[in-house]
Amino acid sequence: MKILISILIVFVFSTSLFAQETNESNRGTITVQKKGQLSKIQFDDVNYRLIGIDQYGNIVDSAVVEFQMAVTIKGIFYTEQTLGSALTYKMQQLLGKSDRTSKIYFDKIKAKDRNGTLVNMPAFRYNFGYRDENNE
């Protein structure tokens, strides 16, 4: 009888140790994405919108509240202003009329920070195409 009880105790302890070992081996790491203050605005030329970038490099989609776009096409200066982060239909038409050496200026950019405060962001220039130095 004592032998049966000792075998049963050894069996119970060994299964509990095995169960604890498998729980330890299945543990993973949790990565926390750092969220910081808005540091810059970039033009997303695929989706035709402005996106905010925080100090850690994370994209903040809904950051831009309003902005103004300006471009010179064939010597004529065009400017358009909009609410929201996406380019309007008229802005997209202007981009379609511009050539590959056009420079687009975004200014009067207002964006919301992560805590909801309205921030004036600096103006920036986007080169729509590239300039080939050999052909000019």
Taking only the tens place, the pLDDT of each residue in 27-45 is 667 666 566 678 889 988 8
Range from 3-7, 33-37, 119-123 that averages highest in pLDDT = 119-123
pLDDT band at 73 (very low <50, low <70, confident <90, very high): confident
Q: In this structure, is residue 91 part of a structural domain? A: yes
Q: In this structure, is residue 92 part of a structural domain? A: yes
Q: In this structure, is residue 33 part of a structural domain? A: no
Q: In this structure, is residue 123 part of a structural domain? A: yes
What Cα–Cα distance (Å) separates residue 46 from each residue in 51, 86, 106, 123?
12, 11, 17, 20
Range from 5-9, 15-19, 30-34, 38-42 that averages highest in pLDDT = 38-42
Q: In this structure, is residue 24 part of a structural domain? A: no
For 44, the domain range is 38-127
Answer yes or no: is pLDDT of 48 > 70. Answer: yes
CB 56 within 8 A of CB 39: no
Q: In this structure, is residue 69 part of a structural domain? A: yes
Q: In this structure, is residue 68 part of a structural domain? A: yes
Q: Domain count for the chain, please give it.
A: 1
Q: In this structure, is residue 59 part of a structural domain? A: yes
